[in-house]
Structure 1
Amino acid sequence: MADQNSNDEEANSSQQRMHDVDIKTCCYKDHPLVKGMKLKCNHRICKSCHEEAMKKRFEQKKPFKCPRCINPKAFELMNDDIPPNLLGLFNKLQKYRDVEAKLHLQHCPSPGCEKLVQVCSDVQGGENSYLGNEPRGVTCECGHSFCVLCNRPKHDGINCEESKEFCRLYDNPNTRRCPECKNILQVWNMMNKKKVECLVCDTKLEPQDKIHLSPLAFTLTYIFMVFILPVYLGRMVYKRLRARWVKDPEIPDDDSLDGIEEISASCTKCLLITAAVLIGILVGIGVTLGGPIFWIIGYIRVCKLHAAQRREQAKFREEFIVKEGAAEP
C-alpha cells in the first residue's frame, strides 16, 4: 500500500514538472511540455502550429514537413493527432496523393502553376517510360519544361548531377559563358577592366563591369580626395583671405605667397582657422551629397549588370542545355 502511494505521488510530481517545464517549439514561444507533440524526427511542435501547418498544406495540396528539419516523413503515423475538423481534408488529400502516385502524376514546379504533368506515358516501363531513366524531361501545359527527377529545367544529354554542377558554375558571379564556344570562363580580371581570352576558341571578351577600380587606382583616388585636394583648396582659400585682409588687389597666380604684406601672427592664425573651417564645410557638403549620389549611380549600374546576367543565365538554362544535349548522340 505504501509503495502504491509513493508511486502515485511520484506520478503526480512528474506530471506537475511537465507543466512547469517550458520548451522552445516551432513557433519559438514557451509552451508547457504537455502542450507540445513529438514528431518522428524527435522534434516538437505545438498544437496550434501543427493545426496551422496542416491547414496550409491541405490548401496547397503539399506533403507535411517538420518546421525544424524539413523532414517530409516527420508526420507519418500521426493521424491520431489530427484535429477532428481537419480529418476529412486529411483523408481527401491522402486519396488525392494515392491517385497521383498510381497515375504517375507530378506537380509542375513553375511558380504559380498548379497543373499536373504525367511523368510516365507507359506504366509498364517500356521505351516511352519516364521512370528509372535519367534524365527525363517533360513540358507542362503552361510551357515550362523540367526534369521529373530533380525539378530543374530540362537538361537532355546530361544527368541531374552534371546539370546541378553546371548550373552552379554558371551561377557564379565570377564566371561568364563564351559567346562562341559556350565555354565557362573565369572573369575576375574584368573587375580591373581587363580583357579575358577564351582558352578554347581564343575569343576575347570585353569587360562588362565599368564600376570597380583596381586596388592601386582606389588607393591613389583616396589619397588625392582626402589629403591632396583639401590641402590645395585650403591653401587657395588662405591666400585669398590674406590678400583681402591686407587689402591687396593683386593675388599671385602661382603657389607662392610673395607680394603679400606681412601680417601679425594672431591674424595669420585667425586666417588659417577660417580657411580650415571653410574647407571642412565644403568637404562635408561634398561627402554628404556626393556619397549618396555616387552610391545611387553605382547601385543602378550594378542592378542593370545583374539583370543582364540573370537574363543570360535564364537563356542559357532554357536554350543552351537543351540544344547541346540534343546534338549529342
Structure 2
Amino acid sequence: MLSHGIAAGLEAWIEAQDDGKRLDEYLLEVSPAEGEKSSHSKCFVETIDEPFSIILRKLPYYNDNYDLDVALWIDGNRVDFGGWLKQSGDNIRWDTIIQKEGGKCYDTTLKFSPLPTTDDLSKVTIDPETNEDIGTIAIIVRQGNYIEGAIGKKPIYEKITTGIVDEKAKRFTYTVAAGEKTEFFRIEEMVYRWKPKRGDDRPFHIFLFQYRPRIALIQMGIIDESPNSVNQKSTLFRLKGLISSPESNSGLSGKRGIEKVEPESEEDDVIYLESKTGGKKRKRQQSVKAIEGVDDFLMDVGADQP
C-alpha cells in the first residue's frame, strides 16, 4: 500500500519470509485526513501458513525532513515502536518482534493462526471490544523530532497471547501468534525523547491491513471461489477524493490495469476503480459493506498513544 497526499512517499506491505512474495492486497482504500481522523491506507490480505514479515519503506520522492515515530499494532495491541531518524535508511522490517515471557525476552517470528472458538459462553476469554480489533495489523506513523535523552533500555511488550472467542460473533477468525523464538538479551542504548511536529501528535499516516483466511474472503465476495481465481481475483480500489501524488500516473491504475467506473450519483464523492477481470456492480455493493466498521479503529489509535 502507498500513502498519498501530504504523506506521499511511504509504502507498506506484508510478505512471506520463505520466498519474499508480497501478499495480494484487496479492496484498497486511501483517505485523506478529515476532522479528527488521520490519513490512512487500508486493505484486506489473505492469510498464509508460513511466517511473514512486515515492511515499511520510504520511496525516493518522500519528503524526508522530519524524524518518524513508528508503532506496530497487531490485533489492537501495540507490539513494537521506535524512532526512524531522517536520512537514516529507506526501510524498516519486522521479520521478528521482541517480547517478554516469564521474565525473559525473546525474538519471535510472526505467523497467522486460527483463533479458537466456542459455543460455551463461560469459556469465552475475549470480550466484544477486543474482538473488534482481531484481524488487523496497523502501522502508525507520526512526524516530529527525536532528541537524545539518556542511556537506558527500550521497553519490551508482553508476549502475544491468544484467547477463545464466541463462535457466533467471529467465525473463521485468525489471529497473529508468536512463532519460533530465540532468547534476546537487552542492552543499554541511547534512549531518545520524542517531540511532535508543531506540538501535534496525531498520526501522520496509518496503514491498516485486515487479514482474513481465504474462506472468509470468499464469503465476503472479495475473491472468487473458482479454481482459477488466482488469476481472476477481483480487486476494488476506493480512493476518497482521488488524492494526487507523484504515483498518480504510474501507480495503482497503471500497474494493475484498472478502469474507472462511474459513481452512481453526482453526490457520490468516492471514485470506484475495478479490475477488468471482474467485480461488477453487485460485487461492489458487497465490498463496500465488507469494510464498514474499521473506521472506529482509525479514530481510536490517535488517543491511545503516550
TM-score by length of 1: 0.16
Q: Larger relative contact order (C-alpha < 8 A, sep ≥ 6)? A: 2
TM-score by length of 2: 0.17
Higher helix share: 1
Radius of gyration: which is bigger?
1
